[in-house]
Amino acid sequence: MGKLAHRKGSPLKKAEKSGTIGQMNRLRCTVCEREFSPDDPETAMPFCSARCKRIDAVRWLGEEYGLPIEEEAEADNIERARKHDRESDA
């Protein structure tokens, strides 16, 4: 490491002493909120485990999650699709 890492009071030196250097690249699971390392072989990115990945998929399939829809834009899209279908049938 360079001189900066060995300066008294540098953040890197403090992290080495406190043992937090390995925690710098830790993430938080969006399902269970557990901290995990992306380098862990059990990780199912972006989740901490295959279990949390499955839970998230079930939530999407069960429509617990959803994308916001603008009512006007959706109505316009439906009308355009109907118009396109009528023109294709002609």
At residue 48, the pLDDT reads: 94
Q: Which of 6-15, 40-49, 53-62 has the lowest mean pLDDT?
A: 6-15
Q: Is residue 30's pLDDT more than 50?
A: yes
- pLDDT band for position 52 (cuts 50, 70, 90): very high
Is CATH 1.10.3720.10 the right assignment for the domain spanning 25-89?
no
Enter the tokens of residue 50: 């295959």
Percent of residues, the chain, with pLDDT higher than 90: 31
| Mean pLDDT (the chain, rounded) | 77
- pLDDT band for position 6 (cuts 50, 70, 90): very low
